[in-house]
Amino acid sequence: MVEQILFEVPTKFANGIADGSIVRIGTLLKDSMSGQILSHVQETGLAQKLLSNASLMPFSPLSALDLASSGYANMQLHQLKTMVEGLQMLQYANIGLAATGLGVSVLGFMLINQKLKGLESAIAQLSAQMDKHFQELAEKHLRHKFANIYVLFERAEQASFLRSPAQEWLTIEGQLGMESGFLRSEIGHHLTQNSFHYDWFKKMTSALAMCNAARIQCLLQANEMDAAQHASSVIADNYSDLFDPLSATQLAARLTEAEQDSREDDLHLFKLNQTKAAQMMLGLREMTDAAMTQPLLLEHLVSKEISGQAYLDAIKAQDQHAIILLTP
């Protein structure tokens, strides 16, 4: 039941995080001495609403937001930024996280579709500038694959109007799993190449994160908590396989190798690329950590017998705080 879910505001632990007695790992807060899990970080519908309206998003760190103007929305954004900084999640808006949510995603399927459409056209343009493999991909497969994904999100949006939607959620989740497998294999293929295309990688990774977040959302809607927990573990392992072997140095070297006609000397260029690559690595590490701790959040929901539907309803209904804490 919704009433049983106890949420708290992140400021409760701000001092502990600041003095190091509480540490954040992915989306959970832990007592650094006892090792006890204190809380799970969860964004609400308000966070996504705010970020969707912010023009700078979705590919910059939240710290880059210009909050100079006034207005209620801006005040809330400022509050979000303060919370994110308090939780030391400065990469919140970088790769994936803002697109897919902290904890469980509450992003509406139609909103994901809108974001994906923006990504698809950018990815197609970038693919055409890349090697032969990606040119073919852009022409033949990418459009087809993204069209499938759009249809699945439209069906997901429609599923909530069905009288018995559970089976439809499960079907959509299965098909999204296939599409995310395609995106994952393309990203994996790109990482086996000598060169590295920064923007393409970032956008494909965001698209992958959106698909996976929606899969978990579908399973929660269908109240298949064990399946959601299992799927989230597999997703976390996949991210770990893809991104853990990377390092900022390696990415910077690949970025430098990809630059053909540069007038800068190699070392200077490499150093410039290192800053960019370090930022990206922070985002990827955050994204993987968040995915790795998601099964623990779901495990907690199962142990408290909180249904997926009830949890989603509760976090969607939150309109006071962009980020809340689920305390055991």
Closest to 246 (Cα-Cα) out of 202, 284, 198: 284
Q: At what angle do helices 266-303 and 198-221 cross, to 10 degrees?
A: 0
Q: Provide the CA 89 distance to its chain's centre, in angstroms.
A: 13
Q: Is 251 helix (H, G, I), strand (E, B) or coil?
A: helix
List the one residue from 69, 72, 245, 263 that touches other proteins (CB under 8 A): 245
Contact 54, 48 (CB under 8 A): no
Residue 47 — φ and ψ, nearest 5°? -60, -45
Q: How far is the CB of 172 from other proteins (least distance, A)?
A: 28
- 293 makes contact with other proteins (CB under 8 A): yes
Q: Which is nearer to other proteins, 97 or 156 (CB)?
A: 97
Q: Which is nearer to other proteins, 152 or 298 (CB)?
A: 298
Q: How far is the CB of 27 from other proteins (least distance, A)?
A: 11
- 92 makes contact with other proteins (CB under 8 A): no
- 281 makes contact with other proteins (CB under 8 A): yes
Closest to 83 (Cα-Cα) out of 62, 69, 67, 104: 62
- 195 makes contact with other proteins (CB under 8 A): no
Choose the binding region for other proteins from 106-114, 137-145, 180-188, 266-274 (rule: CB under 8 A): 266-274
List the one residue from 14, 111, 296, 312 that touches other proteins (CB under 8 A): 296
Element (H, E) at 31: strand 28-31
Size of the site for other proteins (CB under 8 A): 28
One-letter amino acid at 172 equals I
- 249 makes contact with other proteins (CB under 8 A): yes
Q: How far is CA 16 from CA 1, 20, 40, in A?
A: 31, 6, 15
Contact positions vs other proteins (CB under 8 A):
25-26, 28, 30, 35, 37, 237, 240, 244-245, 247-250, 253, 256-257, 265-267, 270, 281, 285, 289, 292-293, 295-296
